[in-house]
Amino acid sequence: MKLFQTLSAVAVVRAQVPDFTDLNALFASLTENLEVAPAAAGEAADPAVPVDAARYVVATTTTTTTVAPTAGQTTVQTVGEGCWKCDAMTFASCATAGQWQQCSPDQTAGDYGVCFLELRETNQLLTQLCTGCKSRNACYNLRRQNFVGSSGSNLSRFHDQCKPEWKLQRTNRRYGTQQSVCRTCFSMCPNDTDDATGKKCFGGLEIGTNNDVTDLTSADFFKYDVGMTTGSAQSYWTSQATTAVQSNMVLGIPLGINCPASNTQCSGEVDDLTNMVNWGGLYTDSESGKVQQGSRGKSDTVMGLYWAIQDQTKTWWELDHVVVQNIYQDTTAGDSLVARLNNAAEFTGLTDLL
């Protein structure tokens, strides 16, 4: 077992996801961000309120809070103040057409707490990528819908919304004609003063002085290594899917840490092809995200680590990524990366990770 594998970490999720026995409560939480107050008679609609308010809302100011856990739960610290926002059909267009937005700490817009990500795929190909601010409760409730169809004693994946493994998305297989819709939540990222490299934002997208850096040089892109172990054996991949991730650049969810070459324990784990954590480099790089040196383009002092999201495992999509990110980024006991890696191993119950 390696550091960034997540095959036994479902306990992370179970501690954070509420149990919905009341369907009315579930429906209310799912529609939490949908209500937009109508304009009063004679007034024009507010242009500041986006049409897709169900997914995104613009907000202001900064806050850091801690959610008190109940018995048996892990403390979840709310950090950061915003998210990269995009609704795109490619990773490149997410970087060029997206923007950084502040989430609203006073919840007037109902979007403060986490960054959410929704990945839609059909036949192993990306059809829509959405990310942005969302309230913690609404995001966690949506994430819980990923695998409702196969919950309990029902082992069939047919009714699952999320079918992330590409072997399930082949057209000649049982689920191949269905669209896969997977959702997860991760920590908000700081402003550019606290995180000038952008390594804590989705795709490493730098915020920039005016929060408007939208070009291919701002993101931490990577390609899949031809030998990297993913949710499905590559023999299940179509040629189009193979090209999409091995010949084109993709973006990922940040761990929020760097992995200097001098730390051989950390760099050895990322190098390992049996996990799906990658170094983020330049859009023009020719090497994969498993290669730190060479033509990766960025130095190890600014090169962040990112989870790949396509052909991930079901277990990975069940993880509470906010909790895992908090552990990796926690420097309260000193800025020892090795100590944080050990904490992550202890938290997930995988003592043989290192």
| pLDDT per residue rounded down to tens, the chain (354 residues) | 444 443 334 334 334 444 443 444 444 444 444 433 444 444 444 444 444 444 443 333 334 444 433 333 445 566 778 999 999 999 999 999 998 888 988 777 778 899 999 999 999 999 999 999 999 999 999 999 999 888 766 677 888 999 999 999 988 776 667 899 999 999 999 876 667 778 999 999 876 545 555 678 889 999 999 999 999 999 999 999 999 999 999 999 999 998 888 888 888 889 999 999 999 999 999 999 999 888 888 888 888 999 999 999 998 999 899 988 988 888 775 557 767 666 666 555 433 332
- Dig out the tokens for 50 from the structure: 């986006």
- Dig out the tokens for 251 from the structure: 């973006």
Helices (H), the chain: 11-14, 23-30, 91-97, 136-143, 239-246, 264-271, 314-318, 321-329, 337-348
Query: Rounded to whole angstroms, how far apart are CA atoms 221 and 246?
Result: 12
Q: What is the pLDDT of residue 305?
A: 94
Q: N- to C-terminal Cα distance for the chain?
A: 8
| Residues contacting residue 239 through CB under 8 Å, at least 6 positions apart | none
Q: What is the pLDDT of residue 288?
A: 96
Nearest to 111 by CA among 189, 49, 57: 57
Q: What is the pTM of this model?
A: 0.78
Neighbouring C-alpha atoms within 13 Å toward the C-beta of 172: 3
Q: What is the pLDDT of residue 170?
A: 86
Residue 80 carries which side chain, given as an amino acid letter?
G
Query: Rounded to whole angstroms, how far apart are CA atoms 272 and 308?
Result: 14
